[in-house]
Amino acid sequence: MFCGLKNIEKKYGRLTFRIVVFVLLAVFVLASFLFSLRSGSLKLDFSEIINALLEPQSVNYRIIWLIRLPRNLAAALVGTSLALAGAILQGIMRNPLASPGIIGVSSGAGLAAVIVMLLAPQYYYLLVPAAFLGAVGASLLIFALAWDRGLNPLRLILSGVAVSSIFGAFISALMIFYSDRLHGVVEFMVGGLNARSWKHVNILWPYATGGIIASLFMSRSLNILVLGDDAAIGLGLRVERTRIIFIAISSLLAAAAVSVAGLLGFVGLVAPHMMRMIIGSDHRLLFPASALFGAGLLMSCDTVGRIVMDPVQLPVGIIMAILGAPFFLYLLRTKMRNATKS
């Protein structure tokens, strides 16, 4: 597929190539959405779906409108948020291995979310703000631990793994102390979208939309930031302020996703890296491409989790781990080989 797209770029030019890529991504998202609406324990064709939406009293209407549609929208928003958060972190850290899950940002958001779920469930509406504070705190802690006259990519990854382990230990301790309140927390730890409803979509979309708009608006600044601090300062960019803004945006996106889907890994690693391989490192294009691919990828994986062992539903976090872990090992191996050559 990559070779075919590159042939289009060589033959028809860069503009045509980019248009083709975004058309294919839009088709992928739409196909994933429609396939998910059709699939499940009760399989429906498109005519049945249309008829169901026209008959509000039917069983099929309740299946489509109250179960599958909000779950699909939640998956799309979560996939978009995690993909953009990963693209931002990879940019500001200049490290293709960075992602909210691997670098520890999601663990900070997860710890804050678990505290709300177990200790103050009556304040469920504060889940996203609490997760945001946890994600920001984790990001600042990782940067502080990794800073030594500059940011070293390997030190960032190792600091993120250490912080993630510490937060994971706190989460495990809370689960042990409050074992009588664990309903829903186990799936949260794996990452899943089972039983997600319009309530979750309503919680998610304002924060996700704000983060998406902010990231697209700031994409040009990230193009300058990745040139290096000295070059960015020479071009008039306020480096530290810009970096802090991007940390806040990525934390907001990760927190919004974690509050609905739990500690879902690898979306923020796979989506932006694959899009960078196809469309390049210009964040003005990489951000929307990653958002589309992340949405389609998570909807597709969630559908696979629903049907592969029907009637048992596998959490989408398991499917993403099966796909994402080998991809991470491939990136790690490639990066180490390149470092050895240089």
* Prediction pTM value: 0.88
Residue 187 has pLDDT above 90, yes or no: no
H helix and E strand count, the chain? 17, 0
Q: What is the pLDDT of residues 192-210, one digit of tens each?
A: 898 888 988 998 899 899 9
Q: Please state the domain count of the chain.
A: 1
Q: What is the mean pLDDT of residues 205-230?
A: 91
Q: How confident is the model at residue 58 (pLDDT cuts 50, 70, 90)?
A: confident
Residue 336 has pLDDT above 80, yes or no: no
Q: Say whether 112 sits in a helix, a strand or coil.
A: helix
The residue range of the domain holding 140 is 2-341
Contact 139, 105 (CB under 8 A): yes
Q: What is the pLDDT of residues 125-160, one digit of tens each?
A: 788 788 888 888 888 888 788 777 666 666 777 888
> 84-98: buried (b, 16+ CB within 10 Å) or exposed (e) per residue?
bbbbbbbbbbebbbb
Query: What pLDDT is stored for residue 26 in this prediction?
Result: 96
Distance between CA atoms of residues 225 and 243, nearest Å:
8
Question: Looking at residue 159, which CATH number applies to its domain?
Answer: 1.10.3470.10
Query: What pLDDT is stored for residue 283 in this prediction?
Result: 94
> Percentage of the chain with pLDDT > 90?
27
> Could you give the angle at which helices 105-119 and 127-146 cross, rounded to 10 degrees?
140
Q: What is the mean pLDDT of residues 65-85?
A: 94
Q: What is the mean pLDDT of residues 289-301?
A: 96
